Structure 1
Amino acid sequence: MEAVNRDLAATLPEAGPMRLPCTPSDDEDVPDQYHAALPDGRRHDGVTDPVAADIAADIADAAQETVQAVLWQVWPVCPEHRGGVHAEARSDGGQAVWWCRAGEGHELCEVGGLSQTLGWARRAPRRKERRRAG
């Protein structure tokens, strides 16, 4: 969740840091439900297995679903293709990545790395705004 919150802070700071609360299961055959929740508790989807090999991608995916369903916002967005990207686990078992499926598809960055990857995209409008302000 820490990596997802770095990406939220860099690209959608008004959302605030998400939490990963647990809703315990009453049935021993059903795993506990973990949810990516906004600071006020609103959430959309659950992450069912917190020890899965691709848990980082599952958490990022659940956070993305919450942002889209609750805030009605596409997040995050590929600056090249202007479309939403998706969290995916790397085939080598490494860090989860944000993947753009446009065209041939490409890796945008590791989950948690949007501030470095998109830093130029967030600064450019500010420069334009300053020029307009005079």
Structure 2
Amino acid sequence: MSKNIEIVQSYFNAVARGDFETVDRLFADDIVWHQPGTGVQSGIYNGKAEVFAHLGNFAQWSNGTFAIDTIEYLTDNRDLVSASIHFKAEKNDQSIAMKGMDLLRMENGQIKEVWLFSEHIEDEDAFWNYASNK
């Protein structure tokens, strides 16, 4: 297993445990996060403060139910690591569950940039738009 895959696996493990001290160490200070879609969650987030606020919104808007429940595989190509995942969240009478692909760019042993891709981005947009208003 490559060092970059080990770092990304550590990131996913830390997120699953709610260990954001470890996530903080694994993120570069000037991390850039690309969230797809046109919903309330979508956009580009720059730096740890913006990224952690963004991730906090997912927890808040889903009453803490947002989870990456499966990592099908991780693979790398030099400084890029791709993760085939499945994620889910619930809020009141609404839920979402779908596959996604995360692409992480590594630099100096840290996660420098993240691009997310969702299986059905329109459904994801609709869910987060609903969840953020309830």
TM-score, structure 1 as length reference: 0.31
Bigger fraction of residues in strand: 2
TM-score, structure 2 as length reference: 0.31
**Using CA pairs below 8 Å that are at least 6 residues apart, which structure has the higher relative contact order?**
2
